[in-house]
Amino acid sequence: MSLPPPKIFAVGDIHGCHSKLVRLLDRLPLDKEVDTLVFVGDYINRGPDSRKVLDTLLQVQASYAHPVFLKGNHEQMLLEYAATGDVETLRILRTMGVESTVASYGATVRQLRDLAFFPPEHRNFLENLQFSYISGNYLFTHADINEEMISLGRAAESFSPAEQQTEAGLLSSRRLSRGHSAMAENFAGYIVVFGHSPFETPLVLHDRICIDTGAVYGNVLTAVALPELRFYHA
């Protein structure tokens, strides 16, 4: 008797909602040794338990055979400020709810530069997040994108300064929510699975699947199982 083929489970934007993350992981019918578990970024900010979220993701990294952790615009902005100390970047971070992340570590925003109060394993986790992940005809990334990102599917630490600006823009893309038509852009045959733009329920188009359902705004945290296109919530 042949074994069922491996599945891919992708989890939407967590934003410090640790209790929802734990409940969702418990509900996924996932084979830790066979299936792939993809997180599409935005683990921190806004919600109360960013530190606990990163602790849990590190446990997933250690105990699941095929975990994939993508970078969200919230992680990208935090790393940018840690590297540059730019005052404008800090202003943007404040609008993104970074105070809740800092508070979860028992620190203050004044201590944010260089991420000195983050445990080394947390800093290492953030610094090694992937920009995108491709499996078969599925392309996973944080935000709805266009063909530019195909050339950026490598470790962010290898980006040139110009590419880093492009990365920041792509991680913050809200093309669907601004009325752009994704339906005419089925590039390279991929189905793009992303988060970043919260919808009340998962958005499913013929070439796009959005799994950000606004967990931090009082809605559910969502995961999708592929290829059967089944959704799980917590």
Residues counted in the chain: 234
Question: What's residue 114's pLDDT?
Answer: 86
Residue among 32, 34, 36, 33 nearest 133 (CA): 36
Q: Residue 138 pLDDT > 80, yes or no?
A: yes
Distance from C-alpha of 67 to C-alpha of 54, rounded to nearest angstrom? 14
Predicted TM-score (pTM) of the model is: 0.86
Q: Which helix (H) or strand (E) holds 23?
A: helix 18-27
Q: Residue 156 pLDDT > 70, yes or no?
A: no
Whether the CB-CB separation of 213 and 232 falls below 8 Å is answered with no
pLDDT in tens, 30-44: 999 999 999 999 999
User: Residue 153's CB: how many other CB atoms inside 10 A?
Assistant: 13
Fold of domain 8-233: Purple Acid Phosphatase; chain A, domain 2 (3.60.21)
Q: How confident is residue 2, by pLDDT bands cut at 50, 70 and 90?
A: low
Whether the CB-CB separation of 137 and 190 falls below 8 Å is answered with yes
Question: What's residue 188's pLDDT?
Answer: 62
Contacts of 62 (CB under 8 A, 6+ apart): none
Question: What's residue 32's pLDDT?
Answer: 97
Q: At CA 36, angle to CA 228 and CA 173, rounded to 5?
A: 80
Q: Residue 177 pLDDT > 50, yes or no?
A: no
Render 131-148 in DSSP notation, one character per residue. Answer: SEEEETTEEEESS---GG
Determine if the peptide bond prior to 227 is cis (ω within 30°): yes
For 183, list phi and psi in degrees, rounded to 5.
-70, -20
Domain chopping of the chain, boundaries = 8-233
pLDDT in tens, 76-131: 999 999 999 999 999 999 999 999 999 999 999 989 988 999 999 999 999 999 98
Distances (CA, A) of 117 to 27, 104, 123: 33, 11, 9
